[in-house]
Amino acid sequence: MKSVVEELRAEARYLVETANNSSEAQLKKELSERAEAIANSMEDPEIIEMNIRRYQSMLAGGLTDETHRKAVDEMLADAQTLLSDLHAGTYPQHRLRR
């Protein structure tokens, strides 16, 4: 199973690729902006901390579906690792190219 970060990176790459192959200027702009927002959210500690709190709240609320609980557990672990890496300066800072 892919981590949340891997899935976000894949989605961002897909959006950039789709934008690059589009001849529609407005669509190209929207897809590029979405890809940039995804990339920025992976590097913004405030967004990551907000997601951690949300995942913790979901788990504390007592998820009954084991598959859903496992997915949220994995998203929480990914977010905590990402935040830790950002604070330690070990997260690879990369930007998407258009």
Task: Please report whether residue 15 resides in a domain.
Answer: yes
Residue with the bigger pLDDT between 28 and 89: it is 28
Task: Please report whether residue 94 resides in a domain.
Answer: no
Query: What's the rounded mean pLDDT across residues 84-98?
Result: 59
- pLDDT at residue number 60: 92
Task: Please report whether residue 42 resides in a domain.
Answer: yes
- pLDDT at residue number 95: 38
Assessment of whether the complete model's pTM goes beyond 0.75: no
Task: Please report whether residue 83 resides in a domain.
Answer: yes
Total structural domains in the chain? 1
**Is residue 96 over pLDDT 60?**
no
- pLDDT at residue number 77: 86
**How does the average pLDDT of the chain come out, rounded?**
78
Query: What's the rounded mean pLDDT across residues 45-61?
Result: 88
Q: Which domain holds residue 54?
A: 4-88
Task: Tally Cβ neighbours within 10 Å of residue 67.
Answer: 8
Task: Please report whether residue 96 resides in a domain.
Answer: no
Task: Tally Cβ neighbours within 10 Å of residue 78.
Answer: 21
Task: Please report whether residue 50 resides in a domain.
Answer: yes
Query: What's the rounded mean pLDDT across residues 21-42?
Result: 81
In angstroms, the CA 45 to CA 83 distance is 6
Task: Please report whether residue 63 resides in a domain.
Answer: yes
Place 68 in a pLDDT band, splitting at 50, 70 and 90: confident
Task: Please report whether residue 93 resides in a domain.
Answer: no
